[in-house]
């Protein structure tokens, strides 16, 4: 009989994945880590009982959390990624030819090493790109202490538990804002609102106190059970959230991107939030359109 991996993120519901060959299972310096083969999703990485990434659908998550802010900004030269040990976010940012430097700060070196070894298709050689700088450090401390500035900051964190909890605090968001160039964009991983409404509500409230324009955009990532995944959006330039498909398309084509999920039409539509999310955010009177 096959073994099953049961995710323990939510208290009242769980998802299970059939486990084929287990490639790695041990405790790193910071967290419990397992990498296994799934008949449906390919190779899967989980940390502390929570599925982090899977070869089969990682492109949805990584494309949306990179291409949306980078193309919306339009003049990105320097990017900071906090987390993202599997290298998928780094890979997608580096696909933009105008990007000159990407600094990736990951707390757990073992996650990076194991992802390169067992999940090489996700990073696809991104760690070897001369524009990439890998810093093994606490992301919260790095943002507070660095004097570098960035056009886009992407928080590719775990959920607000364990090592990832500090990456959802107002203090951390404030430090991120000080590291953004004028008109810069902060994007965050914000969970599945249907099952994690408080996470969405808390992040919205904290970001609202710091930025002129705060919202979310969404995408369905099959591995992350519960429906739409939310990505936080914070900037002081409201115009960056209002580009139409026609306005984004020349940037997309000019970058020469080859995508499996992201399109300029999806970019524009992803900011139109479903009514239940607007209720969570206390904006139930809105139409759901991002314009």
- pLDDT at position 286, please? 62
Give per-residue pLDDT as tens, 14-71.
999 999 999 999 887 778 899 999 999 999 999 988 999 999 999 999 999 999 999 9
Tell me: pLDDT of 159 over 90: no
**H-run or E-run covering 70:** helix 58-73
Q: Please report the domains of the chain, with CATH numbers, ordered by start residue.
A: 3-54 (2.30.140.10), 58-280 (3.40.50.150)
Q: Is the pTM of this model over 0.85?
A: yes
- Could you count the other beta carbons within 10 Å of the beta carbon of residue 132? 21
> Which of the residues are catalytic?
156
Say if CB 215 and CB 233 are below 8 A apart: yes
Q: Is 208 helix (H, G, I), strand (E, B) or coil?
A: helix
Give per-residue pLDDT as tens, 248-277.
999 999 999 999 999 999 999 999 999 999
Q: State the residue for tokens 């206390």.
A: 282
């Amino acid at each position: 009989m096959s073994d099953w991996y049961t995710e323990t993120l939510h208290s009242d519901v769980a998802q299970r994945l059939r486990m084929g060959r287990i490639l790695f299972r041990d405790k790193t310096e910071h967290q419990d880590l397992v990498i296994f083969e799934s008949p449906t999703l390919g190779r899967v990485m989980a940390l502390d009982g929570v599925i982090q990434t899977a070869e089969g659908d990682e492109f949805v998550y990584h494309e949306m959390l990179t291409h949306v802010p980078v193309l919306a900004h339009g003049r990105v030269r320097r990017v900071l990624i906090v987390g993202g040990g599997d290298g998928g976010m780094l890979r997608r940012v580096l696909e933009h030819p105008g990007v000159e430097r990407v600094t990736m700060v990951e707390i757990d070196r073992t996650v990076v090493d194991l992802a390169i070894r067992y999940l090489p298709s996700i990073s696809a050689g991104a760690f070897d790109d001369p524009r990439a700088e890998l810093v093994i450090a606490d992301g919260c401390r790095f943002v507070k202490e660095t004097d570098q500035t960035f056009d886009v900051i992407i928080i590719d964190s775990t959920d607000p538990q364990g090592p990832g909890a500090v990456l959802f605090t107002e203090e951390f968001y404030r430090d991120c804002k000080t590291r953004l160039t004028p008109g810069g964009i902060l994007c965050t991983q914000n969970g599945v609102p249907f099952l994690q409404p408080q996470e969405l509500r808390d992040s919205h409230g904290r970001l609202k106190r710091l930025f002129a324009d705060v919202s979310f955009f969404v995408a369905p990532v099959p591995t992350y059970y519960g429906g739409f995944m939310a990505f936080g959006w914070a900037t002081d330039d409201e115009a960056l959230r209002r580009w139409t498909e026609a306005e984004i398309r020349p940037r997309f084509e000019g970058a020469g991107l080859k995508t499996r999920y992201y399109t300029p039409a999806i970019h524009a539509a992803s900011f139109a939030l479903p009514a239940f999310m607007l209720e969570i955010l206390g904006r139930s009177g809105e139409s759901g359109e991002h314009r």
